[in-house]
Chain A
Amino acid sequence: MQTGVSKRGVLPGFGLTMGYSVVYLSLVVLIPLSALLLNSTGLTWEKFWSVATDPRVLASYKVSFMTAAAAGLIDTLLGLLLAWVLVRYDFPGKRWFDAIIDLPFALPTAVAGVSLTAIYSQNGWIGSWFEPLGIRLAFSPIGITLALMFIGIPFVVRTVQPVLQDLDAEVEEAAATLGASRFRTFWRVVFPELLPPLLTGFALAFSRGIGEYGSVVFISGNMPMKTEIAPLLIMSKLEQFDYAGATAVAIILLTISFVLLLLINSLQRWVRKTAR
């Protein structure tokens, strides 16, 4: 009996919680995804391939992944900065500031899209400053990136912030007493701890950006081959009642995202291992 208990681990209820996880994962994620796969079975392999590798579809993947990656990277930098300021310094209105970070989560994305377009279009507040320089913010890949940055920033801040909060000040003090410069302290002591959450934040912002539709359609201009995102092409195919074609595009999109996320996750695990 005793060996049985020790085998089961310290926490009780593993079986039950595992069961729940499997069921809910199935209901919420796996079953809808398998329905997606089923939908595409109406296509022959050649047809699937010709839909998936159409030049316009390929261009849309490129737009989606490039802008999502750019937005994710910028968000990672800005998010680190924001989290740093929020954790390390005290200033009036800090709580408000902190709460505002979450707004992109709550705001309907279409509203975000419309208001961002209003600001960044050529006669908007910010866009009008760039127009004389020949830079078009809205209706270009820059516009898409700006929208995705807006959507993705809370992911980075909210993953980095708690880790930064839990970081002991003593560790840094110890580094300082041992003669490390401030930069060296940050680079060798603080940063390695922050790398895993930064990667997670990036992965979240990035994958959110790939799927984002609501805000992007307003700001992107939707020009085929240039600023047309993959989710818009999916909508476009649905509009032709071409369910199978739409799922073909979706499956490719999902597969690439999944592989990329897997890569990021294993990179993160590797970082965590080497850091210790």
Chain B
Amino acid sequence: MKKGIKKGVLLGIVVAMTAVLAACGSDSDAKSASGDSSGESKGSVELLNVSYDPTRELYEQYNKAFAAYWEQAKGQKVTIKQSHGGSGKQSRAVIDGLEADIVTLALGYDIDAIQQTGLIDEGWQSEYELNSSPYTSTIVFLVRKGNPKDIQDWDDLIKDGVEVITPNPQTSGGARWNYLAAWGYALHNNNNDEAKAQEFVKELFEHVPVLDSGARGATTTFVERGLGDVLLAWENEAWLSVKELGPDKFDIVYPSESILAEPPVAIVDKNANKRETAEVAAAYLEYLYSEEGQTIAAENYYRPTLDRVKEKFADQFPEIKLFTIDEVFGGWAEAQPKHFNDGGIFNQIYAPK
């Protein structure tokens, strides 16, 4: 009987191994086949742009524009594949082996994490102009039509009876900008007193009835479930909500000051070199700074950085005082562990007394 088991086990292992090997084999076959085809025909190239959620419409439009531009300039057909999801999740997917040529994420911290694995060369954030952030955004308030609670500035968020909707900054990269915007405002209005800023942010989060895990979830909570009086949102998301859900339901309120949200872009050097796409990938990111690229960004409610386009869309983007994460927080490398990691300030807000 023992021999029987052993034989069976052995046979089973052999069968399973062959199956696995066969699967691996066919996988690598497929890969090399696709590699060959792209190598053979210089006439076409494929790019994978791994991005975060609210850029879907932006890049759909931009990809078409870039493909047309590239074909005219170089006579090469480029097909761009997009992948969207939460910024942190997308970053982990690239770390775990998703072969992105380009990443366009919500915050530099998520690209730093990829860089630390060696997939991206150091100094990526100075590779392109303006901290490698071709378009920017900021954090604004979305309130119910007519602004019944009269919310004008950050101070109004901690008035009695005001409920604030914002996702959890520990699970949502976008929400970290919300938190930092509030912190920066409190800092500037309390003579840079950190303790006062912490007090303000703590009070703010006491007005948050529901902490969604992501930005889209928070928007649903505010818009569909009717919870809360004000939604802290990216400017582009706020405009999109108003456009899609009807201007008769919501108003956008600009606080006196806010943070300059810089969603950066980078080439994943290792992947791009391996797939021989470095040249077109670089052009893809550079073209974001062109007049056409900037116009598309502005049309999708991201703040353009090119002066000519800025002027054209001046009505859409009111001038408010904006501070950057580098100025106030010393960049993500400092802000992330201090505020959001375990043991950081955000955790203390919810620590039991």
Contact = CB atoms under 8 A, between A and B. Distances in A.
B171 A24 contact: no
Interface majority SS (helix, strand, loop, mixed), chain A: helix
Interface in B87-142: 88-89, 91-92, 113
A14 B92 contact: no
A143 B172 CA distance: 22
Interface stretch (A146-154, A165-173, A230-238): A230-238
Interface stretch (A177-185, A214-222, A268-276): A214-222
B201 to A, nearest CB: 14
Given A236-B170, A245-B342, A222 B1 contact: no
Contact of A15 (B6, B91, B168, B340): B6
A20 B15 CA distance: 9
A19 B88 contact: no
Given A14-B5, A217-B213, A225-B352, A239 B224 contact: no
B8 A19 contact: yes
Interface in B1-27: 1, 4-13, 15-16, 20
Nearest to A12: B4
Interface in A203-260: 217-218, 221-225, 232, 235-242, 245
Interface stretch (A33-41, A80-88, A113-121): A113-121
Contacts of A237: 342
A76 interface: no
A6 B225 CA distance: 68
Contacts of B88: 238-239, 241
Given A15-B4, A222-B210, A118 B12 contact: no
B92 to A, nearest CB: 7
A123 B211 contact: no
Given A123-B225, A224-B350, A20 B220 contact: no
B12 A222 contact: no
A114 B220 contact: yes
Contacts of A122: 225-227
User: Which of A14, A138, A217 has the most chain B CB within a 10 Å cutoff?
Assistant: A217
B171 A18 contact: no
Contact of A222 (B211, B220, B336, B340): B211
Contact of B225 (A17, A121, A241): A121
Contact of A121 (B170, B227, B347, B350): B227
A17 B210 CA distance: 51
Given A56-B347, A221-B211, A222-B213, A19 B168 contact: no
Interface residues of B, number: 44
B264 interface: no
A24 B350 contact: no
B73 interface: no
B213 A240 contact: no
A95 interface: no
Given A22-B9, A123-B226, A224-B211, A217 B217 contact: yes
B351 interface: yes
B5 A18 contact: yes
Interface string A1-43: 0000001100001111111101110010000000000000000
A114 B171 CA distance: 18
B350 A23 contact: no
B273 interface: no
A114 B1 CA distance: 54
Contacts of A16: 8, 11-12
Given A17-B8, A239-B88, 8 more contacts: A8-B1, A15-B6, A15-B7, A16-B12, A55-B352, A118-B224, A222-B168, A236-B170
